[in-house]
Amino acid sequence: MNMSDQRAVSPHVLIFPLPLQGPVNCMLKLAELLCLSKIQVTFLNTQQIQERLRINSAGADVYFKRYPNFRFETVPDGLPEDNPRTGDQIGHLLESMDAVAVPIFRGMVTSGGEYGPGSENQVTCIIADGIFTFAAGIAAEIGVPLLYFDTISPCGLWTYLCLPELIEAGEFPFKDDNLDEMIRNAPGMEGIIRRRDLPSFYRTNDVNDRIIQLVLKEDKHIPLAQGLIFNTFQELEAPILAQMLSVCPNIYAVGPLHAHLKTRLAAETCPGVQPTTSCNSIRREDSSCISWLDAQPSKSVIYVSIGSVAMITTDQLFEIWHGLVNSGSRFLWVRRPGSVTGLDPETTKEIPSELSLGTKERGYIVSWAPQEEVLAHPAIGGFLTHSGWNSTLESIVEGKPMICWPYFVDQQVNSRYVGEVWKLGLDMKDTCDRVVVEKMIREVMELRKNEFLQRADEMAKLAKASVSEGGSSYADLDRLILDIKFMKIPTTWK
C-alpha cells in the first residue's frame, strides 16, 4: 500500500495484546484513547480472554458500545481449556499461539482477508505486544506501519535489549553465585542494577534456554517497528527512554494510561461529572473490600496483591501471613484462587490461631479486588506488590509507597527502581521471611511513613501532570493520534 492509497482510506488500527490480564487491561485503555479520537480500532483477543472478560466484566462490552468505531475479534490460543495460563505457562502459550493463532491473524489482515489491503475495513496500522515477533513480517507483507507496545516497564525492557551485549561481554551467564555483583554493560543503568535485579530469566546458565532464545529473538525484531509505545512518563524514566532512542527513534511515552484515560474522558463529559471508566478485569472483583476500607482510619491499611499470574508456595503464604499479622498493621489481602502451589485444601484447617485471630481483628481477604479504586482509597497507606508494571504505575499515581516482592520478567527491575532510583518504597526480592515482612511493613507504615509518603506524593503530582494538557504524555499521545490519523508513520522496512 503506497501513501496515496493510504490517504484514500480511513485510519484503522488493529491492536493485538499478549493474552494476560496486565497487557490486555493496558492495551484496552490505549484502544479507548484512540477511539475517543475517532480512530477505528479492532482489538484482537484470544477466545479464552474474551470469554473471561464477558463473564467477569459484564460492563466491558456494554461500555465499548459507546464507541461505534470499536470492535473485538478473537482467535484461539491453542491451549487446552484447563490450562491455568499462569506465569509458568507463558512459554507454552507463545508456542501454541505461533502454531494456532498467528496463521488466523495473518489471514485476517493479508490479501483476501476481512481486514486486508483493498477491503472496506483494511488495517492501516498494527499495534502489537513486543513479544509478538511475527507481527513485523505480517506488517511488512501488507505494507502498513507496525508499532510495538511492550506493556512492561521501559527499564525492564531495556534489560531485555541489553542481553546480547551482556552475553558478548561475558557478564551472562553469571560466572558465580554472587547475585549482588553490579552489571557493567547495561548503558544508563551503571551503579543501579545488580545481577539479582535483572529479569528472572537471567538466572539460568544455559544460553539456549527457551526463554533466553525468545528474548534474543524479540531483541532482533523490536528495532523493525516504526515506533515504540510505552506506558510510562518522561519524568519517571527519561534516562531509559533516551537509551531507547538508539533502538527506535520514534518513541511515544503516553502513560500512566489508566490516569491518562480518565483525563481525556473528563474532557468529554460535563463539568463536575466524574468520568466512567470500564472494568477490564478478567477476574470477578469483590467490591465488599471497599466497604471494609471505608471503616478504617486514614493511611492505616497495607494492601497486598501478587497480581494476576504470579505464584507462591504454601511456605511463602504463611511467612507473608505471619509478617502481616505480627506487624500490627491493618491489611487488605488479595488471595487469587489457584495462586498457591501445592496448597492442600486441608491446610485451611491447620491455620495457627494467632493468624486467624489477627486476620479477624485487623485483616480482610478477598479473591480479587478493584485495584485502582483500592489504591485510591484514603485508608490505604502502602502496597505490598509483585511489582507488575500496571500495579507500580497505579501505586505511583495514587501516591502509595510500595514494598516490592517481584515474581518474574520485568518485576525484578521495577522493584530495584522503586527502592533505589525513585525512592518510593522498599525492595524485598529474593527473601520471604516473616521477620523481614514485618520489619518492612513497620518501616513503610510507621517508622519511615512520612518520608515515603512525601516522596510518593511528589511523584504522584508529576505523574498526573504528565497526562494533563501540556504534559509530556499528553503531548506524546496527541502526536501518536496525529501520526496514525494522517498516516505520517513511514513504512520503510529496515
**Three-state DSSP state, 320:** helix
Judged against a pLDDT cut of 80, whether residue 155 lies above it is answered with yes
Are the beta carbons of 489 and 229 closer than 8 angstroms?
no
Find cell 484514500 and name the residue: 8
Q: Taking residues 445-454, what's their average pLDDT? A: 98
Judged against a pLDDT cut of 50, whether residue 4 lies above it is answered with no
Angle between helices 472-485 and 257-268 (to 10 degrees): 70
Average pLDDT, the chain: 92
The grid cell for 164 is 546480547
Q: What is the pTM of this model?
A: 0.93
User: How much is the pLDDT for 331?
Assistant: 98
Pairing of strands 146-150, 125-128: parallel
Give dist(CA 99, CA 286) in Å, integer: 36
Residues 6 or more apart from 246 whose CB is under 8 A from it?
none
Pairing of strands 40-46, 146-150: unpaired
State pLDDT tens for residues 182-206.
999 999 999 999 999 999 999 999 9
Are the beta carbons of 204 and 177 closer than 8 angstroms?
no
Residue 9 — very low, low, confident or very high, per pLDDT cuts 50/70/90? confident
User: How much is the pLDDT for 3?
Assistant: 42
User: How much is the pLDDT for 141?
Assistant: 95
User: How much is the pLDDT for 258?
Assistant: 97
Q: Which residue has the higher pLDDT, 220 or 267?
A: 220
How many residues are recorded in the chain?
494
State pLDDT tens for residues 269-301.
755 545 555 566 667 788 999 999 999 999 999
Single out the residue of 352, 295, 289 nearest to residue 324, CA to CA.
Answer: 352
Instruction: Give how far the C-alpha of residue 146 lies from the chain's centroid of Cα atoms, to the nearest Å.
Output: 20
Tell me the CA distances in angstroms from 57 to 234, 282, 368, 374, 427, one per residue in order: 32, 7, 13, 17, 33
State pLDDT tens for residues 384-418.
999 999 999 999 999 999 999 999 889 999 999 99
Residue 82 — very low, low, confident or very high, per pLDDT cuts 50/70/90? confident
User: What percent of the chain stands above pLDDT 70?
Assistant: 91
Residue 81 — very low, low, confident or very high, per pLDDT cuts 50/70/90? confident
Tell me the CA distances in angstroms from 291 to 297, 328, 332, one per residue in order: 13, 21, 12
Q: Taking residues 360-378, what's their average pLDDT? A: 97
Give dist(CA 277, CA 372) in Å, integer: 11
Judged against a pLDDT cut of 90, whether residue 320 lies above it is answered with yes
